[in-house]
Amino acid sequence: MSEITKRLDKIASSLEEKGLLKEAEDLDIIANTVEAMEKEAWNVANSKQYGVLGPALNAAMVGNVKAALGLLKNGEGARKNLALAYSTNENAQGFSNSWIEAVKRLENADTDAAVQSLNESIKFLRALEPVINSAQAPGQKPPSGEMIFPAPGVQKGTMGRAPLPHPARAMR
């Protein structure tokens, strides 16, 4: 539970004590929605990319070039997928380029420079986290307000705005 959800719960309890049950219930719904979104959010520490970078960095730091190279080459697909998915984002490109540079430096047995590149790659990956977790993906247009497949009997243009997805599912 984050600080935000703790505070919302505390405020909701206070409202309930004052007899404002409807307001407390509404605030509980908001707190539960925020908590669900936090649980489903993409996290650098649990990502496939960091799952490769962290151990590769540790291996490079102790001079184990073979292990670091093996990890990075095994994680190449995860690197490519993220770089492709966010191809217009500078942090995604920095992440990918630093990873590639680390591989080149390890192939030349330059572990100090490889460690620097791996640290840069992790820094770029962390900077990318808010972008990945934003509700609107890069290049995605906001909803137009028109229904793509209207229900039978519903006329085009009768809906004021696009329906909102459930917040806990909006990040998928």
Write the pLDDT tens digit of every residue in 8-29.
889 989 999 999 999 888 888 8
Q: Which residues of 114-136 are buried (b: 16+ CB within 10 A; e: fewer)?
A: bbbbbbbbbebbebbbeebeeee
From CA 100, how far away is CA 97, in angstroms rounded?
5
From CA 166, how far away is CA 172, in angstroms rounded?
11
Is 98 among the domain residues?
yes
Residue 124's domain is classified under what CATH number?
1.20.120.660
Is 167 among the domain residues?
no
124 and 60: one domain?
yes
56 and 113: one domain?
yes
Is 163 among the domain residues?
no
Is 59 among the domain residues?
yes
> Is the pTM higher than 0.75?
no
Q: Which of 158, 112, 165 is nearest to 140 (CA)?
A: 165
Is 116 among the domain residues?
yes
Is 117 among the domain residues?
yes
* % the chain with pLDDT above 90: 33
Residue 70 has a CB neighbour count (10 Å cut-off) of 16
48 and 124: one domain?
yes
Q: Which of 79, 96, 87, 78 is nearest to 138 (CA)?
A: 87
35 and 49: one domain?
no
| pLDDT of the residue at 167 | 54
93 pLDDT above the threshold of 90: yes
148 pLDDT above the threshold of 50: no
105 and 29: one domain?
no
54 and 100: one domain?
yes
30 and 61: one domain?
no
Q: Residue 87's domain spans which residues?
A: 44-133
* % the chain with pLDDT above 70: 69
Domain count of the chain?
2
The confidence band for 136, taking pLDDT boundaries of 50, 70 and 90, is very low
8 A C-beta contact, residue 8 and residue 31: yes
48 and 29: one domain?
no
